[in-house]
Structure 1
Amino acid sequence: MVSEVLGKVPDARSIWRRRGLAFAGGLALLQDNKGFLWFGTYDKGLYRYDKKAGVLIHFTHDLTAGSLSNNTIHCLFEDRKGDIWIGTKSGLNRFDPITNRFSVFSGRDGLPDDHILGILGDDKGYLWVSTSNGLCKFHPQSGELANFTITDGLQANEFKSHSCLRTTTGVLYFGGVNGFNTFSPDSIRNDGFLPNLVFTNFLLFNRAVPTLYSGTRHSAEDGDHGSK
């Protein structure tokens, strides 16, 4: 919700001189397709500047429903529908320009972590969201979601703020604490196949040891000591 309408500001350069904004610590900047300038700050909330009207609006977190989920903003992103997404220390926010309210997506909705550090979009409408505990592929309309961790090939589970890029060819880059990951979104597929665990041999000090199942193939799903 709107915390405060700060009134008219002559130009964008004057924004940081208003009400101590020069000390707010700008973390993210976005110009949307309507010409609004969005400023995400460290611990001071979100600002939207209407260049045509010269009006600056301040959004902050409070205890009412529909408010920004946290006053520290790490990233801003406009999707292909024109929706504004805000990555905060307490979840992923979507701004509703009709009501000036925010919808919040968090770990309770399946995200790997509430600390949102980067947001990019692909050609199919998915958002790719980097966090402090993995990478998430999220479809805003369907709610479809898939999480990826270091076991899927990430440089680490923890990513870095501001460290993401989409190239002109649609390749995505995300930087983290141990380097960066790059991939084409179309090449990432969820494989739901879970193979059975099969013991084929047992070595002790590099020598084969006879076992109950020597010469047989036994699946971890077998509960009756039968062989396959």
Structure 2
Amino acid sequence: LSHDFVQSFHLDGEGLWIPTYDGGLNFLPSDQFDSPEPVFRHYRYAAGQSGGLSSDEAEVAFRDRSGVLWVGTAVGLDRFSPFGKKFATSHLAATPFSQNDPVTALCLDPEGRLWAGSRGGGLYVLDPETGRRLQVFRHDPGNPHSLPHDDVYGLLIDRRHRLWVATYHGLAYLEPGSLEKPVFHSFDRADGLPYGFVHGLYESDKGEIWIATYGGLSRLHETPGRGFVFENFSMDDLPPRALVNSTTYQLTQDRFGYLWVATYDGLSRIVEEEDGGVWFDNYRHEPGDPYSLQENWINVLFRDSAGRLWVGARGGLHLVRQKESAQRADFQVFGLPEGLPNETIHAIEEDQQGYLWLSTNQGVVVFDPAAADDPSLPAVIAHYDQSNGLQNSQFISRSSCRDGEGWLYFGGISGFNRFQPGQLRRNPHAPSVVLTE
């Protein structure tokens, strides 16, 4: 026991709960009842940390019919839900992140290592299962082959297994197998980038690297003898070669092979001609049109396993509806009326059952795509927040990934979470209906 002054007992199907005067809450699992040396679990108050007891002076404990454990302490009533407590939180620094040091980018390499970008802390290589740091890369002003900047906003492993890094001060790539003596090959505006602040990276089905920057979009041409050549596009080009906006964030490819570009002020679809020419089919919010974008600030794009294209904006989740490649798209919108707790969608991943996991400014939401075809189905089937063990309820745009075993990773302002969706328990007990005057 953590303390000899026992306040009370509560026996449930899992074991014996023992509140103490100054030692918090003790738990003895039922399989330890007959042990000559029983092992107790201790739950204590920890200043500044969420998820623990509100005080070490625990007086009473009780588990209700839904499985929730209630603990009365000297300062209040604590509630612990067994549902959704499978979120592992990792921090890149030795201490938890502050709001000025979030996890801004995540990806996994072919060797199973997790790469995590931060704002101000550089680039980290981690063991995904434990969160242990394997290596850290930071900018060194005296080394031209170091990371270009310690603010990292995007990561990409291309088909040649090169790691591409989008930073606040340019683009860089790292050859595979060079971790012991890393050499970052860097590019900035002097090399042809449209802008130094790079937000996102995407490799198309053709193997072309596309680069989303604060000041335009770029297609990287890699040719023998000429090296790398940047072909740039912006909103200042003559229509129809003009982007909807030059502040670009991310790209992805739809089931027809077209690339879509997320921007600060709308959405662009890239149409490539047979001669290699490019023009843009642009989309913005149209007042009075319920099938247009409902918000022009686009955070994230995601193509699911069924080929559907989803758009995460600051005004909800949008499904791109387009039956034929030549048809102009419209949008089906999901927001607060459909059950979302928050309409700012930061990142999207799909689990092995086909559900979409959305990170927002109020936690992580599980979304059922079937609701797009059947309005009678609930669109949101689960919602998790900081009380379920998330690093924070606020997440970072485009900071997510999924590994080959189905584990999902989401980066936020206080670290990142790793979890296996199939291991999360959802509460099967509906709340009781109580009639009041």
What TM-score comes out, normalization by structure 1 length? 0.74
Residue 15 (str. 1) matches residue 233 (str. 2): yes
Amino acid at match of 1:178: S
* Structural mapping, 1:190-201, within 5 Å: 190-193=426-429
> Which residue is equivalent to 1:162?
398
Change (3 A) 1:189 1:52: farther
Tell me the number of residue pairs that the alignment of Structure 1 and Structure 2 aligns: 186
More divergent stretch after superposition (108-117 vs 27-36): 27-36
Q: Is the 8 Å Cα contact of residues 35 and 50 (structure 1) preserved in structure 2?
A: no
What is the Cα deviation at residue 160 of structure 1? Answer: 0.7
Q: Is the 8 Å Cα contact of residues 134 and 158 (structure 1) preserved in structure 2?
A: yes
Report Cα offsets for 1:157-193 as digits up to 9, x if no partner.
1001111111122110001111111111111120234
> Which residue is equivalent to 1:176?
412
Residue 35 (str. 1) matches residue 257 (str. 2): yes
* Structural mapping, 1:44-83, within 5 Å: 44-52=265-273, 54-63=278-287, 64-83=289-308
Report Cα offsets for 1:18-38 as digits up to 9, x if no partner.
356496211121123432111
> Which residue is equivalent to 2:338?
109
Give the 3-state SS of the residue equivalent to 1:141 in structure 2.
Answer: helix
> Which residue is equivalent to 2:367?
138
CA distance in 1, matches of 2:332, 2:263: 19
Moved over 6 A (4+): none
Change (3 A) 1:169 1:52: farther
Greater C-alpha radius of gyration: 2
Q: Unpaired runs of 5+ in structure 1? A: 1-10, 196-228
Report Cα offsets for 1:129-181 as digits up to 9, x if no partner.
00001100011104352111111111111001111111122110001111111
Residue 129 (str. 1) matches residue 358 (str. 2): yes
Q: Is the 8 Å Cα contact of residues 317 and 343 (structure 2) preserved in structure 1?
A: yes
> Which residue is equivalent to 1:218?
none
Change (3 A) 1:31 1:133: same
Q: Is the 8 Å Cα contact of residues 366 and 383 (structure 2) preserved in structure 1?
A: yes
More divergent stretch after superposition (167-176 vs 53-62): 53-62
Amino acid at match of 1:130: S
Q: Unpaired runs of 5+ in structure 2? A: 1-217, 220-230, 372-378, 432-437
CA distance in 2, matches of 1:85, 1:111: 15
RMSD: 2.5
What TM-score comes out, normalization by structure 2 length? 0.40
CA distance in 1, matches of 2:250, 2:320: 15
Amino acid at match of 1:15: F
Change (3 A) 1:18 1:168: farther
